[in-house]
Structure 1
Amino acid sequence: MLIDALQCGHFDRQVFEELKAGGYACVTPTLGFWEGAIESLDALGHWRHMARECSDLMLIARATDDIREAQRSGRIAVVLGYQNSNLFDNRIAFVELFAELGVRVVQLTYNNQNELGSSCYEEVDSGLARFGREVIRAMNRVGMVVDLSHVGDRTSLEAIQWSQKPVAITHANAASLFAHTRNKSDAVLHALRDNGGVIGCVAYRNITPQAACDTVDGWCEMVARTVDLIGIDHVGIGTDYSHNMQPRDYDWMRKGRWTRTVQYGAGSAASPGPARKPEWLLKAGQLHVVADGLSRAGFNQEESHKILGGNWLRLYQEVFG
C-alpha cells in the first residue's frame, strides 16, 4: 500500500492515471496555502467535482475504510489537506464544519506566523498561541490530522505536547541529515515519536541531501538514517512532489498576499526558481521504485510495508478512524 502524505500543484485526470499506474493507494493533495474560508470552500467544490468526473480513478477518503475500498477497487484514495489554517478564518467553529466537508489534514502554519503559532522561518518562535491550543483540541475531537511540516520548533514541541492524538510532519526531513530551517530537529522528531506520530520523508531537492536526489538508493539510505533516529513505526513518505506548476503558482506559495518583496521559500538567491525534480523521481508515478530501494537498504518486507504506507494508515486510523 503506497501512501504519499503530501503532494501539491494542479491535479487532473492525467495525474490520477499516472498515480494509478504507479501503484499508489492514497495521496494527500494541497488544497490551499494562504486562502481564507471562501476560497477554501471553492477548492473543496473543485475537488468534489473532480471526484465525480474521475470516479473511476479516485475517491475522496473520509476514513481508512475508504482507503482500503479504493485499493480494492483499483482507485486512488485522496485525503484532503491544507498547508495552512487560514481556512478556519479565526473561527473555532469552522474546524468542525470543514471536517464535515471532508478535510482531514491541516498544517497549523505555513511560512509565516499566524494566530495559532510560529512558522519555521520566523526569527523568534513565540510558541503555540491560546487559539492554537483551541484549534488542536478541536481537530483532535473531529478527526483532523495536525500537520507540523512548516511549523517552528518551539510551536511544534508545544503542539505535540498539547495534542491528544498523534500528529504528523507530512513533508520534511531530519535537520541532522540535511541542515535547513524547514527540516526538523532531533528534539521535535523524538517528541513526534513519543506522541505516536509519523514524518513523511521528502524528495524536494531544496531540503534533501544530494545523494538522496541522485538515486533512489541514496533516498532510501536517508530514510534508513531517519528510522535510526526515531524507529520504524514513525517514518513514511511525503514527497512534496508538485504537478503542473506555473511561475504564478510559485509566486503565490512564496508571497501570498502578505509581501511585495522577493521570497525564495525553501530556495535561496543561488537557487531562486523551481527546484529540479530528483533524478529518480522525474515523474510521480515512479515512486514505486522505493519498494526495491528499501529492500536494498536492508529493510525486510514488514518494515518496508510500514514505510510505504502502513505507518500512515495506522496514524489515519487513530486520528480519523
Structure 2
Amino acid sequence: MSAAKPLIYDGLQCGHFDRAVFESLLKGGVRCVTVTLGFWENAIESMESITRWRALARANSDIVSIALNSGDIDRAVSEGKLALLLGFQNAVLFESRIAFVELFADMGVRVVQLTYNNQNDLGGSCYEEHDSGLARYGKEVIREMNACGMLVDLSHVGNRTTLDAVKHSQKPVAISHANADSLFPHKRNKTDDVLHALRDNGGVIGCATYRNITGNHYCASVDNWCEMVARTVDIAGIDHVGIGTDRSHNTTVKDLDWMRTGRWTRGPDYGAGSATNTGKAPPADWFKEPENLGLVSDGLARRGFNAAEVAKLTHGNWHRVYKAVFG
C-alpha cells in the first residue's frame, strides 16, 4: 500500500539551513525536524545561535515556525509549515550549572544530547576508550531535563552511559540519529541491549542515513535503507523506531573540522570517519536532495509495513515521544 501523502518527522539534521532547504524539506513531506544549534559552544555562544535561529525562523515565518510543544507541531502541520525543534548535540552549553537547563528550556531548546564525541562532566562518549557511565551531575541534568520538558538525546553517548541514562530518566529518551550496531558495526551505533532498554523506556531511535554509520549497502537505495529500518524494528519494536537522518546542509571543510575537533585538540580527528576516510561523507545515493525523504513512505510500504505502521515509523513514534516530553 502506498502512502499517498507523506508526513515525516526527522529526529535530527544539522548544517546551514536556508529557505531553499526549508522548501525542499516541505516538498518531500517533512513537517517537523530537530535542528542542530551547536556541538562545542559555551552558554553565550549557544544563546547567540538561538538568536540566529529565531531570526531565520522570523524571516521565513510563512513556511517555518519554532515549536515548543506537540501542539505547536500540530499547528505547523495544519498550516503546511515546517516545525523546527531547537536542539544541541552536547550539554556543554549548561556549563556545569544545573539552573541553566531550565534557562535554556525557557529560551526554546527542546532537545539536548548528553555528550558529543568526548567525555564531559555528565558522562562517557562513544569514542572514549573507557565509558565512565553517568556521572552524579549527569543524573541531576536528566532529572532537570525531565522536569523542564527537554528531550534527553543519547546518540553520541557511550553505551554504558546510555544505559545509565535510560535507567534514570522518568520520561522517554531518544537516540535521535544512529543505527543498530548489529546491522552496521560502528562505535557511533547502538548495541541490541541498548535498543531493548530504549524500547522498555518508551523511547525512539531515529535511523540515520549518514554513510559513515550506515554503510554503502543501506545507502544504495531507499529500499535498502528501508530494509535497515525493518531490521531495526525487529530489534526495538514497531513503536520505537523513526527517522533521524543526520543530514548535513551546506557544510564546508571548516564546519567539518569544528564538529570533529572543536577547541579540544591541535591534531586531526576523523569523527565517524577514519585516516583513510577523512572528508565529508557523500549522501546516501537515494538522498541527494532533502525532498528525497518523501520516498521513504512508499519504500516502507514495499517492505510490507501497513499504512498504520508506516505512519508510526515516519512521524507517529516521534510525535508520541514529543508529547510525552514536551506536552
Q: What is the aligned partner in structure 1 of residue 8 from structure 2?
A: 2
2:242 pairs with 1:252: no
Aligned positions of 1:290-309 closer than 5 A: 290-309=296-315
- Paired with 1:308 and 1:23, the residues of 2 have a C-alpha distance of 10
After TM superposition, the structure 1 stretch with the greater mean CA deviation from structure 2, 231-240 or 203-212, is 203-212
TM-score normalized by the length of structure 2: 0.97
Map of 1:151 onto structure 2: 157
Residue type at the aligned position of 1:243: H
Query: What SS does the corresponding residue of 2:100 show, helix, strand or coil?
Result: helix
- Aligned counterpart in structure 1 of residue 24 of structure 2, from 15, 18, 21: 18
Equivalent residue number for residue 44 of structure 1: 50
For 1:289 and 1:281, locate their aligned partners in 2 and report how far apart those are by CA, in whole Å: 9
Contact (CA 8 Å) 1:36, 1:86: kept in 2 or not? yes
> What is the Cα deviation at residue 209 of structure 1?
3.0
Unaligned runs of 5+ in 1: none
Q: Note the 1:129-144 alignment, pairs <5 A.
A: 129-144=135-150
Aligned to 1:58: 64
DSSP 3-state at the match of 1:171: strand
State the distance in 1 between where 2:40 and 2:310 align.
Answer: 35
Report the TM-score when normalising by structure 1: 0.99
Unmatched tracts of structure 2, length 5 or more = 1-6
In structure 2, the residue matched to 1:229 is 235
- For residues 207 and 244 of structure 1, the distance between their equivalents in structure 2, rounded to whole angstroms, comes to 20
1:86 to 72, 92, 105: 92
Deviation at 1:10, TM superposition (A): 0.3
Quick one: distance in 1 between partners of 2:258 and 2:127? 17
Higher relative contact order (CA 8 A, sep 6+): 2
| Partner in structure 1 of residue 284 of structure 2 | 278
Q: Which runs of 4+ in 1 moved over 2 A?
A: none
Aligned mates of 1:18, 1:220 — CA distance in 2: 21
Please give the per-residue CA displacement for 1:14-46, whole angstroms capped at 9, x wherever unaligned: 111111111111001100000000000000000
Q: Please, what is the CA RMSD of the aligned residues?
A: 0.6
Counterparts of 1:204 and 1:20, CA distance in 2 = 20
Which one of 207, 217, 242 corresponds to residue 201 of structure 1?
A: 207
Q: What secondary structure, in the 3-state scheme, does the structure 1 residue paired with 2:178 have?
A: coil
CA contact (8 A) 1:177 1:209 kept: no
Distance in structure 2 (CA, Å) of the matches to 1:48 and 1:301: 36
In the other structure, the counterpart of 2:245 is: 239
SS at match of 2:96: coil
Q: Is it true that 1:123 corresponds to 2:126 in the alignment? A: no
The superposition leaves residues 188-230 of structure 1 with CA deviations (integer Å, 9 ceiling, x where unpaired) of 1000000000000000000113221000000000000000001
Of residues 19-28 and 178-187 in structure 1, the stretch that sits farther from structure 2 once superposed is 19-28
